[in-house]
Structure 1
């Protein structure tokens, strides 16, 4: 990285803070293995026990996952996201139901509270998303789609709702990827222009229908086409 060398007492808390910062800033990405214990000891200038205690604390919080014989990997970018991942696990249905609850209400509020700047940003994200889909750039599509849905919730101007949605970042991306993996005749459509237009027109009821409609369709599809 390197991590900054710790300073005085409270070494475990300092190490936890530095490691959490590496995770939340994306320096250590979700799914990647973090530096080994000897590497962390050298970088931080602390003992093995301090590093181990910090790793245990972050693993307990859901940010890290220790895999015996394989190393320690980043599991989530926040405690909230880690908790959601533990609760939802691999169940796509659970994730979609949580998304529908948050995003439908976020869209309702966004239709009333969004700014012109946010509307323009939503349009740009949707354009990027659609271009990525057309050119087969799936990683770019997933990122743009996730950013679009999150900005809709941010445009609600409800800080708690936006924070809860941000905590779902990893599972939302996973749900987008999973939905695409099932894409075939009869699978949910990927168009979100109706949602954009409802927010543009400041129509809360239509925004709710548009935001919840795609996710409801995805849930119906899952029920009719179990893995």
Structure 2
């Protein structure tokens, strides 16, 4: 698939789209080095800064990996796969701990401040999420589960809390992708039905317990912290 000279509008987005297509299509194979910067600049007809910004964005998304002095390599074929590769061990534990702090408070406040529109959006999203779990559709599970928790925190109507949660959105997505196992029977996966019910019933204590409970289970499954286990 040849590279096409980019138009003068939205250069970075166009370059990102072309590189992503080359990666997802397998034209640039997983684990292989992509063409050097000078070659990309010539083929795309854009400046070095545009290419660097596009590569930086795709590296941030987990598709590419920049190795100083060695070049840029294909790390994953899609964002979900890239997200899975980005979190592991102690880093995942830390993200889950931060998620717990924000989501528990978000659920507690949501139980007191949620609107009917909030409930409708969360209910529709949870229905999609549960259907994706039944179908073992990992990509859809990650998308809908992450969105459900975002909607939950948004229902708190606390702009500071919402802003903080938005700041870790990518890490939340990564943690959901990392902890979802499609090999587990659907009925054994975490259900957020009780959490939504607590918010709907206006019960802050129960909502906070439900929001923290499943994250506590995930943390317990990870075993001792890395420092304690000598990892």
TM-score (norm 1): 0.66
**Contact 1:112/1:204 (CA < 8 Å) preserved in 2?**
yes
State the alpha-carbon separation in 2 of the partners of residues 160 and 106 from structure 1: 11
Number of equivalent positions: 198
Does the C-alpha gap of structure 1 residues 182 and 142 become closer, same or farther in structure 2, counting only changes over 3 Å? closer
Per-residue displacement from partner, 1:100-136 (whole Å, max 9, x unpaired)? 0111111111112222111111011111111111122
Unpaired runs of 5+ residues, structure 1, are 7-13, 78-84
Quote the residue 2:83 is aligned against.
Answer: none
Q: CA deviation at 1:149?
A: 0.7
Per the alignment, residue 81 of structure 1 pairs with none
Matched with 2:217 is 217
Structure 2 runs not aligned, ≥5 long: 29-33, 80-85
Change (3 A) 1:22 1:199: farther
Q: Does 1:179 align with 2:206?
A: no
Q: Is the 2:129–2:145 contact (alpha carbons within 8 Å) kept by the matching residues of 1?
A: yes
**Residues 54 and 189 (structure 1 numbering): CA distance in 2 closer, same or farther, change over 3 Å?**
closer
Name the CA distance, whole Å, in 1 between partners of 2:54 and 2:207. 43
TM-score by length of 2: 0.65
Q: Secondary structure at the match of 1:223?
A: coil
**What does residue 127 of structure 2 align with?**
127
Following superposition, the deviation at residue 2 of structure 1 comes to 7.7
C-alpha distance in 1 between matches for 2:15 and 2:109: 33
Question: What value does the CA root-mean-square deviation take over the aligned residues?
Answer: 4.2
Deviation at 1:175, TM superposition (A): 1.8
